[in-house]
Amino acid sequence: MCASPVDPVLDLLHRRPELVVHALHRLLGWELEQPAQAEPVDIGDTQLYAHGHEWSADLAFALHRLGGPSTWLAVVAPPAREEQARAYLWPCYAALLGLRRGGPAALLAIVGDDDAAWARQTVACGFGALTFTPLVITRAALLALGEDV
C-alpha cells in the first residue's frame, strides 16, 4: 500500500523535510507558530499487521513548534486510488503514530490532481460516529512549492 521508494515526491520530502511545514502553511492554510520544523521519524510507528499483511505509511514526521508540544504527521503518496487504504489504513496510520509517539497526529495524502477530491472525502470509521478526514495536497502543488522555496 506504499508508493515506490523512488517516488520523486517522497524523495523530495525526505531530502527537504522543511517542505512539510511550508505545504501545511501555504497549501492548506495552517497557521503554524514560527519557527516550526519537520523532522523525519521512523515509519515503523505507523506500521500495522492484519490479515497476513504488513502496512505502513510512506513517511512520517514530527512537527515541532516553538513553545508548544510536537504533533505527528503520517504521509502517503498512493500511485493510484486505493479505496480500501483510504477507508481503513489511512486512519490507522494516523492513530498508531499518535498513540506510539504520544500526541495528536494526522495523515497527509499526496495525490494527483484528479484524485484530490476523492482523497479529501471524510471516512466513517465504524458506525459513523467516528470520522476521519485526511489532509490532501496534489503532487503538482508540492513539486511547485519545492521549486519556489
pLDDT in tens, 87-114: 999 999 999 999 999 999 999 999 999 9
Return the C-alpha cell found at 62: 514530527
Domain contains 138: yes
Domain contains 1: no
Per-residue model confidence (pLDDT) at position 6: 67
Domain contains 33: yes
Task: Report d(CA 123, CA 88) in Å as an integer.
Answer: 9
Domain contains 3: no
Position 1 pLDDT exceeds 50: no
| Average pLDDT score over the chain | 89
Structure confidence by residue, pLDDT tens digits, 131-144: 999 999 999 999 99
Q: How many residues can be counted in the chain?
A: 149
Task: List the beta bridge partners of residue 40.
Answer: 61
Percent of the chain with pLDDT over 90: 64
- Of the two residues 118 and 130, the one the predictor is more confident about is 118
Q: Which domain holds residue 114?
A: 8-148
Counted domains in the chain: 1
31 Cβ contact partners less than 8 Å away, ≥ 6 residues apart: 25
Domain contains 2: no
Domain contains 88: yes
Structure confidence by residue, pLDDT tens digits, 6-60: 689 999 999 999 999 989 888 888 776 567 889 999 999 999 998 899 999 999 9
- Residue 86 pLDDT level (bands cut at 50, 70, 90): very high
Q: Element (H or E) spanning 99, and its range?
A: helix 90-101
